[in-house]
A and B are shown apart, each in its own frame.
Chain A
Amino acid sequence: MSQRLVVDPITRIEGHLRIEAQMQGDVIAEAYSSGTMVRGIEIILQGRDPRDAWAFAQRICGVCTLVHGMASVRAVEDALDLRIPPNAQLIRNLMIGMQYVHDHVMHFYHLHALDWVDVVSALSADPAATSALAQSISEYPNSSPGYFREVQQRLRTFVEQGQLGIFNKGYWGHPAYKLPPEANLMAVAHYLDALAWQRDVVQLHTIFGGKNPHPHFLVGGMSCAIDVNSDSAINTKRLSQVADIIGRLRFFTDQVYVPDTLAIAGFYKDWAGLGEGLGNFLCFGDFPAADATMKDVGTFMVPRGAILDRDLSRIHEVDLEDPAQIEEYVTHAWYEYSVGKDKGLHPFVGETKLDYTGPQPPYTQLDVAQAYSWLKSPRWRGQPMEVGPLARVLLMYATGHEQAKELVDMALSKLEVPVGALYSTLGRTAARTLETKIIADAMQGWYDQLIANIRAGDTDTHNDAMWDPATWPKDCRGAGFMEAPRGGLSHFIVIEDRRIANYQAVVPTTWNAGPRDPAGRAGAYEAALKGHRLHDPNQPIEILRTIHSFDPCLACAVHLTDPDGGELVQITIQAAP
């Protein structure tokens, strides 16, 4: 029997995602991913001062706050061939690093955990046994029986009040939940701890960028002047705060996040063989050396490259500005191209013209033979690619990054699974945790370099040689990129007469969640969901697990349709308001 399953909204993500899945019995035959909200920020950017672009672009996303601002200033600096001072490069590395650690921890505990952790089951845990479990895997001090008893009591009171709030109507008791009650209680306690921890560590952004979410950036460097003899600049007090925060980032990663991931993963090894999808991975690379520019790809801590068909022995070179490499298609997206619906465009000549052809709301399903998403379909040399933590860890692993190799091998041996386990929902989630440790540790190095620079008398944070647009070439263009927590991000700016003539952002979730291309090839989400067996289509926890393993950043939907175009049986997963 063929049925269409719609999950909308996909919650615990950023944005509006709808998944439509075509079922054959209880197995997903085909999945369709749709972004259901559009704002047109690329259109809004046209005609504006390129120095202002970062603030507009940053509002593409407030969860991965910072990343679009960063890619934007880098795009303008690339267009102007502008070098930023080493201190600014180090401060940017620190800010990106903090974003990673914060974002990945919040994703794990607050967005992804409830797919694996049964909150209600935690009520039947033995606090003493929970304490023994916690102490067996980590030196985190919040691990006494009394601590877990208190968390359990708070939870019990909350549940007994009958107002479950954010936990209402979860899939509690679903047989897919495999953790013993003690592991569930430990995870709930760390959910609450992580919430308190994250509020403090974001202060690193406030110190350098003035606030979080949405810290401030500046073309040519950073606005936070350094002067250890001033009460109003980056001085000893603020640097000490930064050092303290780096310590807290590393401690929580080492003592809570990494051990929890491994402990929880141990109960879900069946997910090490599910949810891979494409097998193609793409990285733009990031974290340049202090005195390098973004053109000095060889200095990056996270390397650049592409992997096809899981072949780690061959890393393909990637050039963002090569029109033959990166193209975006709109065949199944609600946009119009002047060259026609089936041609791809490199972002330098990219177009954003809204052309909604979907059903008028209220609707129950999308016509996936036509356009069905506000996401375009980016392709690298014609191939759909997965971006994100798994891509980065594979790239580091394949290119001999020592710590990455050590961590991956440690995780595989602890879980007693083969290397192939990486290509899965579980592998993706574990890769996110492992790269967090690599980045948190690297932050200490960038901080030490910053201090060494200041000690040597270098306090420059901004290169204002080209601040005045009168100094610019009349026309120029640039590509700014970074490895955002969710994957390779690139911004393309075309500047004419010192104003923005064209602006295109190709974002990680566009790579991962985009719809099919003209050749009918699925995007990463769509490919990853294929073959999932659902225990109960009314509680599609399996879909949430794999989709959340990508850490989506948009509003989407999942959709199952009949491949033969036959009669579809609608499962009412989507409620009418």
Chain B
Amino acid sequence: MYTEQTVSERLAAQGVTRRGFLKFCSAVASLMALPPSSVPAIAQALGTARRPSLIWLPFQECTGCTESLTRSHSPSLESLIFNALSIDYQHTIMAAAGQQAEAARLEAMEQNRGRYLVAVDGSIPTKNRAYSCTAGHSHYDTLVESARNAAAVVSVGTCAAFGGIPAAAPNPTGAQSVGEILGAEGITTPIVNISGCPPIPLAITGTLAQFLTFGKVPDLDDLGRPLAFFGQNIHDRCYRRPFYERGEFAESFDDEGAKKGWCLYKLGCKGPITYNACATIKWNNGAGFPIEAGHGCIGCSEPGFWDWGGFYRPLSQGDWGNWRTIGGAVAVGAAAGLASVALSRARQSRVAREGNP
């Protein structure tokens, strides 16, 4: 059944012009913050690639991450990525059910051994593996089995990446992240974390596009997240930042400051310690992001954010102080090069993880 048609041939056959194809490549390049000169390389890579198999495994999840995937915008980008992948197992959209669904997964794993991609949404319970099952098999076992021969595992969303809400205190089911499980099982398949609750749609599709183009995982921060989407904190990119600098803060959700778009720091905004592209890419084709709708960032792309002590509690002075020091280091790092950014990011992440802001 398999034909060796390339992505570009396939797109051409579907009526997508060469120009449309190059436009797609440009979109991929700009998503990954690559220079325009990289477009031919991307076109070359995609032009010769076969459509890789994607197996999407849902565990302790709410399907918000899959919903986010369907929201991927940027006209025609999503449909092109759909055409660039063979989505062989995805509970929410696949036609097959029951034994046929499971057979599709096993067949894809068998035929694409070592080459298929696994995406996971949801955490995995360890207190009792029976807490989360499909087809009578524990999700723990399904993850281990599916990840072993995958080219890479993409943890989509904060639950898969860091444990997320099931792992929030008191973590009733002993929920763990994909990375924790695979680490414990000694499985070395590369993991990419695309955090967020859910992740920004383009962070999901953009990361997949990056993998398809270069055949390897993108550059990651110390939490395993692609720098293209998680390299900057929301506060640094926020359009309300000038009001912070001037000390102009909304004091309530409906006061003059709120109406004028002043900084939401006093209303609990976690933008300064949250790394995500909400303030730049924004949500739903640039229609906005939470701060633009007057609500502080809740920190949903960071490990342990559910237990930070309250969405409306302003970051404390101590953490604020830490953040300012670190923020300065990031600024210097950005000028000096990516390595120092990564270094200061590592420090920042430790603050986020241990600092209880």
Binds B, one of A250-258, A316-324, A359-367: A359-367
Chain B residue numbers with a CB within 8 Å of A12 are: 91-95, 97
**Least CB distance, A41 to chain B, in whole angstroms:** 7
Question: Is B347 among interface residues, defined by CB-CB distance under 8 A?
Answer: no
Cβ A39 vs Cβ B173 within 8 A: yes
Question: Is A278 among interface residues, defined by CB-CB distance under 8 A?
Answer: no
CB within 8 Å for A573 and B98 given contacts A206-B284, A462-B254: yes
Alpha-carbon distance between A63 and B71 when the two chains are bound, in angstroms: 12
Alpha-carbon distance between A203 and B101 when the two chains are bound, in angstroms: 33
Could you tell me which residues of chain B, from 244 to 288, have a CB within 8 Å of some CB in chain A? Answer: 252-254, 258-261, 278, 283-285, 287-288
Residues in chain A within 8 A of chain B (CB atoms): 6-16, 18, 36-41, 43-44, 49, 51-52, 55-56, 59-63, 65, 106, 110-111, 114, 119, 150, 153-154, 157-158, 160-163, 165-171, 192, 195-196, 198-200, 202-203, 205-216, 218, 220-227, 230-233, 241, 354, 356, 358-365, 459-462, 464, 467, 538-540, 544, 555, 572-577
Cβ A211 vs Cβ B290 within 8 A: yes
Question: Is B51 among interface residues, defined by CB-CB distance under 8 A?
Answer: yes
Chain A residue numbers with a CB within 8 Å of B288 are: 203, 206-207, 210-211
Cβ B168 vs Cβ A170 within 8 A: no
Question: Is B230 among interface residues, defined by CB-CB distance under 8 A?
Answer: no
Alpha-carbon distance between A530 and B97 when the two chains are bound, in angstroms: 20
Alpha-carbon distance between A169 and B83 when the two chains are bound, in angstroms: 18
Cβ B96 vs Cβ A169 within 8 A: yes
Which one, B63, B79, B141, B290, contacts A62 given CB within 8 A?
B63
Cβ B95 vs Cβ A170 within 8 A: yes
Could you tell me which residues of chain B, from 115 to 134, have a CB within 8 Å of some CB in chain A? Answer: 125, 128-134
Q: What are 14 pairs between A and B in contact, CB < 8 Å?
A: A11-B94, A12-B92, A37-B59, A39-B175, A44-B169, A52-B310, A55-B311, A106-B70, A199-B70, A215-B293, A216-B290, A232-B261, A540-B97, A555-B134
Which one, A150, A213, A220, contacts B68 given CB within 8 A?
A213
**Least CB distance, B94 to chain A, in whole angstroms:** 5
Alpha-carbon distance between A264 and B125 when the two chains are bound, in angstroms: 42
Q: How many interface contacts (CB-CB < 8 Å) are there between A and B?
A: 343
Cβ A211 vs Cβ B104 within 8 A: no
Chain A residue numbers with a CB within 8 Å of B2 are: 162-163
Closest 6 A/B residue pairs (Cβ): A62-B64, A232-B261, A210-B290, A40-B172, A170-B95, A162-B1
Which one, B64, B83, B253, B278, contacts A461 given CB within 8 A?
B253
Could you tell me which residues of chain B, from 28 to 79, have a CB within 8 Å of some CB in chain A? Answer: 51, 53, 58-68, 70-73, 78-79
Chain A residue numbers with a CB within 8 Å of B239 are: 232
Which one, A6, A39, A169, A577, contacts B137 given CB within 8 A?
A577
Chain B residue numbers with a CB within 8 Å of A119 are: 95
Cβ A356 vs Cβ B306 within 8 A: no
Question: Is B351 among interface residues, defined by CB-CB distance under 8 A?
Answer: no
CB within 8 Å for A209 and B287 given contacts A51-B312, A230-B261, A362-B136: no
A365, A576, A577: which has the most chain B beta carbons within 10 Å?
A577
Binds A, one of B7-15, B184-192, B210-218: B7-15
Chain B contributes a number of interface residues (CB within 8 A of A) equal to: 105
Alpha-carbon distance between A215 and B99 when the two chains are bound, in angstroms: 36
Chain B residue numbers with a CB within 8 Å of A56 are: 165, 168, 306
Residues in chain B within 8 A of chain A (CB atoms): 1-3, 5, 10, 13-15, 51, 53, 58-68, 70-73, 78-79, 83, 85-88, 90-106, 125, 128-139, 141-142, 145-146, 164-166, 168-173, 175, 197-198, 239-240, 252-254, 258-261, 278, 283-285, 287-295, 298, 306, 310-312
Closest to B262 in A: A232
Cβ A203 vs Cβ B285 within 8 A: yes
**Least CB distance, A73 to chain B, in whole angstroms:** 12
Closest to A49 in B: B310
Alpha-carbon distance between A227 and B256 when the two chains are bound, in angstroms: 9
Cβ B258 vs Cβ A225 within 8 A: yes
Cβ A8 vs Cβ B98 within 8 A: yes
Alpha-carbon distance between A153 and B12 when the two chains are bound, in angstroms: 12
Cβ B15 vs Cβ A154 within 8 A: yes
Alpha-carbon distance between A107 and B61 when the two chains are bound, in angstroms: 19
Alpha-carbon distance between A62 and B100 when the two chains are bound, in angstroms: 26
**Least CB distance, A306 to chain B, in whole angstroms:** 29
**Least CB distance, A371 to chain B, in whole angstroms:** 12
Cβ B70 vs Cβ A575 within 8 A: no
Closest to B74 in A: A199
Chain A residue numbers with a CB within 8 Å of B295 are: 209-210, 216, 218, 223-224
Chain B residue numbers with a CB within 8 Å of A170 are: 95-96, 100
Besides A10-B98, A195-B70, A216-B295, 7 new A-B residue pairs in contact (Cβ under 8 A), listed by A number: A11-B92, A166-B90, A203-B285, A232-B292, A361-B133, A461-B254, A576-B137
Closest to A8 in B: B135
Chain B residue numbers with a CB within 8 Å of A364 are: 136
CB within 8 Å for A206 and B283 given contacts A7-B98, A574-B136: yes
Cβ B293 vs Cβ A59 within 8 A: no
Alpha-carbon distance between A205 and B285 when the two chains are bound, in angstroms: 12
